[in-house]
């Protein structure tokens, strides 16, 4: 094992998220960790055996991005949950949100609207590491569409596995529950 899955069982009991939903989500995350480790093992073997110019190596290397980001995005997601959802109106994050969106309310409208768009993926509040500015992004797949030079601050999973057990097709209700459980202190710590 190259990487050990983190334990997020402390989130069980969180308002708006059933134990069944969370345990299923944790199991899915652990699958990403397992697959990432398997691919690392295969890649290392192929490197030792001098098979780095093969089509098989190339495909495994491409697949690795999917598994890696599946692990990392879920870790960001779980770690920015478990809070009380109360946005701290003072601090660097509040200042940046107000500068970039005009108000916290405007940012919330944009983030939630992005989350309710048709499709599967992720909604991520990114900080541009070059300018310090903030922007909400829609990311379809784990391994594509991430803005270069950007730091993820708040990550919301909008793949069906994140909400269907509890909310069916009512994604907007899931997003409301997500907002009630944001750990804003964790999000603020991610600022660069």
Whichever domain contains 167, its CATH number is 3.55.40.20
Q: What is the DSSP string of 114-174?
A: HHTSSSSSEEEEEEETTT--EEEEEESSTTS-PPTTEEEEEEEE-SGGGTHHHHTT-HHHH
Q: Quote the pTM value.
A: 0.95
- Assess contact for 146 and 125: CB atoms under 8 A: no
The total number of structural domains that make up the chain: 2
Tens-digit pLDDT profile for the chain (192 aa)?
689 999 999 999 999 999 999 999 999 999 999 999 999 999 999 999 999 999 999 999 999 999 999 999 999 999 999 999 999 999 999 999 999 999 999 999 999 999 999 999 999 999 999 999 999 999 998 888 889 999 999 999 999 999 999 999 999 999 999 999 999 999 999 999
Residue that terminates a domain, selected from 26, 57, 79: 79
């Amino acid at each position: 094992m190259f990487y050990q899955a983190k334990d997020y069982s402390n989130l069980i009991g969180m308002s708006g998220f059933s134990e069944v939903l969370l345990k299923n989500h944790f199991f899915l995350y652990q699958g990403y960790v397992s697959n990432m480790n398997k691919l690392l093992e295969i890649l290392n073997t192929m490197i030792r055996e001098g098979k780095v110019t093969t089509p098989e190596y190339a495909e495994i290397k491409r697949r690795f991005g999917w598994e890696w980001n599946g692990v990392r995005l879920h870790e960001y997601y779980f770690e920015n949950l478990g809070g009380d959802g109360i946005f701290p109106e003072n601090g660097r994050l509040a200042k940046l949100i107000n500068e970039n969106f005009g108000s916290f309310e405007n940012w919330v409208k944009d983030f939630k609207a992005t989350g309710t768009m048709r499709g599967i993926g992720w909604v991520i509040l990114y900080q541009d590491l070059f300018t310090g500015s903030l922007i909400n992004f829609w990311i379809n797949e784990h391994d594509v569409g991430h803005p270069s030079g950007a730091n993820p601050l708040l990550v919301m999973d909008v793949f069906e596995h994140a909400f269907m057990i509890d909310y069916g097709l009512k994604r907007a209700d899931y997003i409301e529950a997500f907002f009630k459980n944001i750990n804003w202190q964790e999000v603020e710590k991610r600022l660069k």
